[in-house]
Amino acid sequence: MGKASGFLDYERQDGQIITEAERIKNFDEFHLRLSNEDQQIQGARCMACGVPFCQAGTMIGGMASGCPLHNLVPETNDLVYRGKWESAYNRLTKTHGLPEFTSHVCPALCENACTCGLNTKPVSTKENEKAIIEYAYEHGLVKEKCPEVRTGKTVAIIGSGPSGLSCAQLLNSRGHKVTVFERNDRVGGLLRYGIPNMKLDKRIIDRRIKLLEEAGVVFKCNVNVGKDISADQLLKEFDRVVLCCGASNPRNLTAEGRDASGIYFAVDFLREVSKKLMDLNYDSKALIEANDFSFKSLKGKHVIVVGGGDTGNDCLGTSIRLGAESVTQLEMMPQAPTSRLASNPWPEWPKVLKTDYGQEEAIYKFGTDPRIYKTTITEFIKDKKNKLKAVKIVSLEAKKDEKTGRMNMVPIEGTEKELKADIVLIAAGFLGSESYIVDNFKVECNQRSNVKTEANAYATTRDRVFTAGDMHRGQSLVVWAIAEGRACAKAVDESLMGYSNL
């Protein structure tokens, strides 16, 4: 399979990344593609190894190793190498119905489990995947199955993020009549409003939604299920209901002065900016010049981002583009090591320091890494008009709790100091499902506030109600949400038909 010596003959080559100096001027995507010919050479690097962890999706050391969708990675890479693009698309879509999303925003669990990564750079599977799906769109190969015969069964899906879309895609292909309810003004959920446009251009979502609509999926936006329409009403109208509402309850900070104006949850901040960009027909210049956000403008303002994950990084990149005077990212945990520790061997997910695009842009713009580790906010300082003007922070250290045996990050006395702050963006993760939707459907939750099901199952504690995605497993990756949506679709199909061929 492939070129036997490809991983020795060729170095990894990625598509061009537009420089920080240029990309912070707009909200356009900045990862460019290789030519198809150059991408074929990258496909040749796949070793077709005897045990391909890249497609395993197995939990090792508490984290996933390889693709949760079990994409047939070596086979797909081989077809890329041979230039058989249509066959590569057909092979990829045996396991994955939405590769245009993961090829933009997935952290590439497949690559981190690649055997090549033991001694050299892993195969560029993610860019191979992007080349496949973009070739397929360019050549009219991407179509949604419009079933010739309908089953007469109806399914309501609540939430149009990656789990909701993948679930709707399969159930519709099976012949069920699917209606997707979305509380926002546009379809896409996390994909549209939780991920900035420079990582995933929203027009990529639109082209898939158009195909799904043409195949018979009905989307109803601006409908907040649990408020505008009740669970009981939906269960009267539909044979099954699937909850794909995400883990959309943000973790708060309760420090003194929390009521100051100028403090926002990251998800609300990113949603507002994305909506404005789309309302302006993707005019980045107009967006950067806009002064009518809830925070007016970021020009000349000092921005503090609380949280060191992907969402915090997205807040950095967005704030820089909107003209922030400074950006600082606070992280409670210590800095990760720069290379794998002996306790974190391949093919485990590498727990190493990652400097993402937002941090790279902050380093370029301001000259220093924006991250401050082992730190938290103890007070929001406000002026006489209740407007935020600074934050008080304190350094933390790890100490063992003698009662529980757990290690906790605790303040170090005498390390307090103030930082200028006009805007604070809280990107400290999520605490499971929002209570109003859970209460309205009367479904049970587990200790993590996720909707409860049996292990490896998707049926909730309420008859005819299923769940998938972050609402089911907790805050996670787009690829996991898609995998959950597909698995849930099969469970729903079995409950409706008594068997499933999905």
493-to-158, 229, 315, 404, 443 alpha-carbon distances in Å: 17, 24, 39, 44, 20
Q: How far, in Å, CA of 464 to CA of 39, rounded?
A: 46
Q: Which residues of the chain have pLDDT under 70?
A: 1-2
Of all residues in the chain, what percent carry a pLDDT higher than 90? 93
Query: What is residue 424's three-state secondary structure?
Result: strand
CB-CB neighbours of 414 under 10 Å:
7
Report CA Rg, the chain. 23
Q: At what angle do helices 36-43 and 125-138 cross, to 10 degrees?
A: 140
Global confidence as pTM: 0.96
Q: What's the confidence (pLDDT) of residue 466? A: 98
Give the torsion sign (CA, 61, 337, 125, 490).
Answer: positive
Q: What's the confidence (pLDDT) of residue 1? A: 65
Q: What's the confidence (pLDDT) of residue 4? A: 87
| Residue 39 C-alpha from the chain's centroid | 25
Residue-averaged pLDDT of the chain: 96
206 Cβ contact list (under 8 Å, min separation 6): none
> Could you tell me the domains of the chain?
6-138 (1.10.1060.10), 154-248+431-497 (3.50.50.60), 263-426 (3.50.50.60)
On the question of a cis peptide bond just before residue 370, with omega within 30 degrees of 0, the verdict is no
Q: To 5 degrees, how large is the angle CA 52–CA 485–CA 157?
A: 170
- Continuous H helices in 280-368: 284-289, 310-321, 357-366
What is the per-residue pLDDT across 364-387, written as a single tens digit (0 to 9) for each? 999 999 999 999 999 999 999 999
Q: How far, in Å, CA of 271 to CA of 190, rounded?
A: 9
Q: What's the confidence (pLDDT) of residue 100? A: 98
Please give the helix or strand (H or E) that residue 132 lies within, else none: helix 125-138
What is the per-residue pLDDT across 115-128, written as a single tens digit (0 to 9) for each? 999 889 999 999 99
